[in-house]
Amino acid sequence: MKIVETANEIAELKKGSKSLNPKYCNGMLGYEEDVIGTGINGFYYDNEMLIGTPFERIDEEIDFEWEKDPIGGVNVDNFSVSW
């Protein structure tokens, strides 16, 4: 198993000079192999500034046309969401 250890190796990966192959990612912060999930956590706020306690749900994908309230307790005309 190869672990990317130096800033130079990370820079090479970003430039594309090395393949971003899972064998180079083991041990990197944020890398998880074989992750199985049903979507991404959405945090919905009843304001436009991501302030306060959000309403949470799992969204299967991020592809919406907001015609009605996105989630109970959040007004479609005045809300924000972060994933």
The tens digit of pLDDT for each residue in 11-57 reads: 666 665 555 566 666 666 666 666 667 888 999 999 999 999 999 99
Give the domain ranges of the chain.
1-35, 37-83
What are the distances in angstroms from CA 27 to CA 6, 14, 22, 31, 38?
A: 12, 17, 10, 7, 24
Q: What is the pTM of this model?
A: 0.56
Amino acid identity of residue 3, one-letter, is I
pLDDT the model gives residue 37: 75
Q: Which residue has the higher pLDDT, 38 or 2?
A: 38
Q: Which residue has the higher pLDDT, 23 or 61?
A: 61
* CA–CA separation, 9 and 72 (whole Å): 47
